[in-house]
Chain A
C-alpha cells in the first residue's frame, strides 16, 4: 500500500490542474459570449 503515498498526491494534483485550467478560462473571458463562440467556428478567415 506504499504506492498510495505516491498515487494520492498525483490524483489530487491532476484535479488541481483541471481546476486551475477552468479558472484560467474564466479569467480570459471565454464565457463572455457563448453564442458567438458557437457561431464563429463557422466563419472562414481566408
Chain B
C-alpha cells in the first residue's frame, strides 16, 4: 500500500497523495501575522503544504476546531490557504501551527499586507463577459434557426421581427462582452501597433452596423448570431489563457507572502517579542533558536553552534560558528540557541540581493515572443488587406470590366461593404484564439496530474525549445540529506544512535534514521562543532568529529563526511556518509541523453563530492566549487553560444542562474525563492517527471502548430468564399463553430497516452 509506505506515522495526507512532511521545517512564531478586525475577532492566514484530499480537509478543519477558543476554520484545497479565526485573545497563534504540525502538515503564515486582496477580479470579469456572450449566442440562435429553416417560406415581416429581436439582444450583449477586445485594441492602436484585437473590434462594429442596416431594409442576411458566437468562442480562449497566467501569478504571490518570516527580538529589558522580519532594524538583538532560519544578515553575539548553509551555497556539510562570525540571511541554525545582532535590514540582506538578481533575469526573459503572438503578427495585415481588397474589388471591378468592354452592372456600396465584412467575420480568429490556449490548458492539466506544476503557458513553450540541461547537485540530483554508507554492527549502531538522538546535526539525524526507532541517552551533552558525549554505565561515550571522539585514529582520506564513535577504551568506529543520488537520477540522465540533450552538472559543493555524483549519475561535464555568480555566467555563456539551456536547481544559489536560463525547473523540496524563479516544479521524490514534462511540452508545441496550420487552411478556403460574396449567416455559423471544435478536439488528443518515457 502506497500510503503506508509513504506515511508510516499516520501524519499528513491520509490518502498518501502527498509525501509525509519533513518535520525539520524551520519554526517561527506566527503571532506577528495575526490580524485583528473591528469586531474584536482575530484571524490568521496560513499556507498549508501537503493537503490533497477530503481526508485532509476533515483532519485539518476538525483538528483545529477542537482547539479551545477556535471559532472558524476554512481550508481552500485549490490554493492551500487556511484561514483560522477566534475571538480576540482566546487562542495563542502558535498553538494553531503546533496543532497543524502534530497533524502532519507544514504551515507558514502569510503576510497580511501581501495577501490583502488579490482576489482574481479580472477572471471574474471575463467569466461575466463569457456568460453574457454565451447567453446572447444561444438565444439568438433560437431565432436564427427558424429564419434559416424557413428560408423561402417565412414571410418578410416575421423574418424582420426575428431579426429585430436578435438585434435587441445582440447589440447590448456584444458591446458589453467585447470590452476586453476593445480595450486591448485601443491600447495597441495608441501605441501605433496592431494586435489580434484590432480586426476583432473592427468586425464587431462593422457586423453590428451592417446587420442593423440590413434589418432596416428588411434584408435577407443579418449576422447577429455570428458575432455573438464569435465573441463567445474568443472569450473562452481568453479565459483559458487568463487562468494559466493567473496560476503563475498566484504562485509567485504566495511565495512572496511566504517570505514573511518572523523573528524573536530581544528588547532592552530582556523581554523577547515576535516581530516581522521587515521590522528588524540594524543593531537589533535577535534570539535564534535551534532549527530556525536567520531572517537577516548578522553577527553572532553569544553562543556556539553550527549552520546549515546548503540552501545558500550548496555545501552539504554544516559550518561551525562561534561568536563574532558573520552569517547570511537564509542559513539554518542547527544545534544551539544563539543571539545575533542584525547588520542589515531584511530588504538589504543577502537573500533580498538574490531576489533582485532573479528579477533582472526574468526581465530578460520577458522578451520571449509567444507562438500565438507570432501568428497574430502574420495574421493581422493579411486579413485587413484582404477585406480592403474585397471592398475595392466589388466597388470598382464592374467599372474596370466595362472599360475593357465586358458588360457588368454596378453592385453598389451595400453589397461591397457586406462582402468585406463577411471576410472580416469569417476569418476572425476563433480557431486562432483557441488554438494555443486550449492546447496549453490540456498539457498543463495532464502534467499537473502527474505531479508537475507548470507555472505558465510561456513556460511550456520555452520548455519545448531547450537543448541543454544543467543540473545542480545538492538537493536536486541528490536528496540533499546525508545517508549512512559504511557498515557497522547493529549493536554499535544502536549505541551511537542513542547519543545522536539528542542532536539536530544532519549527520546525527542520518545515523538515527539508519538505526530506526529507539531511546535517547539521558544527560548527553552536545558540544557545538565537536560532537556529543555522555557517561553510560561508567563508560565515556563520544560521537563526533575525529579530533573530538577518536584523535588517535587515522584519517580515512576519502573526503566523505564522517562521524567517529568511541565507547570507553574500545576501538573507535567510523561512520561514513554520502549525499545519496535520487533513486531515478541516473535513469533520468540516461533518458535525457537518449533524447539528444547535452547534460551538465554544476555545483557549489566540494569538487570531490561533485565528481562522485557526476560519475554515479552518468554526467561527463561537471564543475565543482562554483559560486552563484559563476553559475549564472555559465548559463549566460551557453546562451551566447546560441544554446537554449534549462537549469534544474533547488537552492538560493541556483535561483539567479535559473532566472537567466531559457527554462528552469526545481524539485518540490526546493526553497521558495527557487520555486518562484522556476518554470516548472516537480512534486514528488523523483526527477523522471522532468523528462515527461519536456515530452509533453514538445507534444503540446506540435499540437499548437497543427492547430495554427489548420486555422490557416481554414482561412485559405473560407476567406475567398466570403470575398466572392458566397457567404450566408448559416455558413458563417457552421464554419466558426466547426473550426473551433476541431482545434479543441485536437488539443484534447494530448490527454491520451500514458507516461511517454516508459516506451
Q: Residues on A close to B: CB < 8 A?
A: 1, 4, 8, 11-12, 15-16, 18-19, 22-23, 26, 31-36, 39-40, 42-43
Q: Given A12-B139, A15-B135, A19-B135, do A39 and B76 touch, yes or no (CB 8 Å)?
A: no
In the complex, residue of chain B having the shortest beta-carbon distance to the beta carbon of A31: B127
Q: Are B78 and A33 in contact (CB under 8 A)?
A: yes
Scoring A11, A23, A35, A36 by chain B CB atoms within 10 A of each residue's CB, the highest score goes to A36
Inter-subunit contact A1/B54 (CB<8 Å): no
Q: Using Cβ atoms and an 8 Å threshold, which residues of chain A touch B413?
A: none
Contacts known (A11-B139, A12-B169); A39 close to B54, Cβ less than 8 A = yes
B53 interface residue per 8 A CB criterion? yes
* Contact A42–B54 (Cβ < 8 Å): yes
In the complex, the answer to whether B78 meets A43 with C-beta atoms within 8 Å is no
Verify A23–B135 contact, CB threshold 8 A.
no
20 CB contacts below 8 A, A to B, read: A1-B158, A4-B158, A11-B142, A12-B165, A15-B135, A15-B139, A18-B135, A19-B131, A19-B132, A19-B135, A26-B127, A33-B79, A35-B77, A36-B57, A36-B76, A36-B77, A39-B53, A39-B54, A39-B57, A40-B54
Interface 1/0 per residue, B186-203 and A, CB below 8 Å: 000000000000000000
For A34, give the chain B residue with the smallest CB separation: B78
10 A-B pairs closest in CB distance: A36-B77, A39-B54, A42-B54, A33-B76, A35-B78, A35-B77, A19-B135, A15-B139, A33-B78, A22-B131
What residue of chain A has the Cβ atom nearest to residue B75's Cβ? Answer: A36
Once the chains are docked, how many angstroms separate the CA of A40 from the CA of B161? 49
Q: Which residues of B contact A36 (CB under 8 A)?
A: 57, 75-78
Q: Which residues of A contact B731 (CB under 8 A)?
A: none
B124 on interface, CB distance cutoff 8 Å: yes
Please tell me if B560 contacts chain A, counting CB pairs below 8 Å. no
Q: By the criterion of a CB under 8 Å from any partner CB, how many residues of chain B are at the interface?
A: 23
What chain A residues lie within 8 Å of B273 (beta carbons)?
A: none
Query: CB within 8 Å of A: which of B48-66?
Result: 53-54, 57-58
Q: Which residues from B are CB-within-8-Å of A39?
A: 53-54, 57, 77
What residues on A are CB-neighbors of B139 within 8 Å? 11-12, 15
What are the residues of chain B within 8 A of A31 when measuring CB–CB?
A: 127
Tell me if A16 and B135 are in contact (CB < 8 A): yes
Nearest residue, chain A, Cβ from B146: A4
- Judge whether B128 is part of the interface by a CB distance below 8 angstroms: yes
Type the 1/0 row for B23-61, where 1 means its CB is closer than 8 Å to any CB of A.
000000000000000000000000000000110011000
Contact indicator A15/B138 (Cβ below 8 Å):
yes
B135 touching A32, Cβ below 8 Å: no
List residues of chain A with CB within 8 A of the CB of B131: 19, 22-23, 26
Q: With A19-B131, A34-B78 given, is the CB distance from A40 to B158 under 8 Å? A: no
Alpha-carbon separation in the docked complex, A10 to B135 (Å):
14
**Minimum Cβ distance to chain B for residue A39 (Å):** 4
C-alpha spacing A32/B127, complex, angstroms: 13
In angstroms, Cα B481 to Cα A32, docked, is: 38
Question: Are B58 and A8 in contact (CB-based, < 8 A)?
Answer: no
Q: How far is the CA of A10 from the CA of B201 in the complex (A)?
A: 32
Distance, CA A31 to CA B142, complexed state (A): 29
Q: Chain A residues near B138 (CB, 8 Å)?
A: 15
CB distance from A28 to the nearest CB of B (A): 12
* Chain B residues numbered 67-84 whose CB sits less than 8 Å from any CB in chain A: 75-79
What residues of A have a CB within 8 angstroms of the CB of B54 in the complex?
39-40, 42-43
Name the distance in Å between A10's Cβ and chain B's nearest Cβ.
11
Which A residues are CB-close (under 8 A) to B135?
15-16, 18-19
Given A8-B143, A40-B54, A40-B57, 11 extra CB contacts under 8 A? A4-B161, A11-B142, A12-B139, A12-B165, A19-B135, A32-B76, A32-B78, A36-B57, A36-B75, A36-B77, A39-B77
Q: In the complex, which residues of chain A have a beta carbon less than 8 angstroms from the beta carbon of B77?
A: 33, 35-36, 39
* CB-CB nearest in chain A for B158: A1
State the CA gap A4–B150 with chains docked (Å).
Answer: 15
B448 to chain A, nearest CB (A): 11
Closest to B81 in A: A33
Cα distance A9–B355 when bound, in Å? Answer: 59
A35 CB, nearest partner CB in chain B, Å: 4
B residues near A1, Cβ cutoff 8 Å: 158
Q: Known contacts being A15-B139, A43-B54, is A26 close to B75, with CB within 8 Å?
A: no
Q: Across the interface, which residues of B come within 8 angstroms of A33, CB to CB?
A: 76-79
A-contact 0/1 string along B68-104, CB 8 Å cutoff: 0000000111110000000000000000000000000
**A26 proximity list for chain B (CB < 8 A):** 124, 127-128, 131
- Give A4 Cβ to nearest chain B Cβ, in Å: 8
Proximity string of chain B (149-171) to chain A, C-beta cutoff 8 Å, 1 when within and 0 when not: 00000000010010001000100
Please state if A23 and B57 are interface contacts (CB–CB under 8 Å). no
Among residues of B, the one whose C-beta sits closest to the C-beta of A19 is B135
Task: Give the CA-CA distance A1 to B132 in the complex, in Å.
Answer: 29
Complex: how many Å from CA A34 to CA B76?
A: 9
Chain B residues contacting A11 (CB-CB under 8 Å) are 139, 142
CA distance A8 to B167 in the complex (A): 13
Hey, what's the 0/1 contact readout for B128-147 against A, CB within 8 Å counting as 1?
Answer: 10011001001100110000
Chain A nearest CB, measured from B670 CB (Å): 23
Residues of A within 8 A of B169 (CB): 12
**Chain A residue with the shortest CB-CB distance to B127:** A26
Provide the bound-state CA to CA distance between A4 and B139, in Å.
14
> In whole Å, how far is B189's beta carbon from the nearest beta carbon of chain A?
31
Q: How far is the CB of A46 from chain B (nearest CB, A)?
A: 12
Closest beta carbon of chain B to A40's beta carbon, Å: 6
Whole-angstrom distance from the CB of B395 to the nearest CB of chain A? 38
In the complex, what distance in Å separates the CA atom of A28 from the CA atom of B165?
A: 32
A17 CA to B583 CA in the complex, in Å?
Answer: 57
Residues on A with C-beta less than 8 A from B76 are 32-33, 36
Question: Please, how many angstroms separate the alpha-carbon atoms of A42 and B59 in the complex?
Answer: 13
Q: Which residue of B lies closest to A36 (CB)?
A: B77
Question: How long is the Cα–Cα vector from A33 to B158 in the complex, in angstroms?
Answer: 47
Give CA–CA (A36, B54) in the complex, Å.
8
Chain A: minimal CB distance from B557 (Å): 54
A19 CA / B79 CA spacing, docked (Å): 27
With both beta carbons as reference points, the residue of chain A lying nearest to B61 in the complex is identified as: A43
- B58 and A43 within 8 A (CB): yes
A12 surroundings in chain B (CB, below 8 A): 139, 165, 169
Residue of A1, A19, A26, A31 contacting most chain B CB atoms (<10 Å): A19
A12 CA / B139 CA spacing, docked (Å): 7
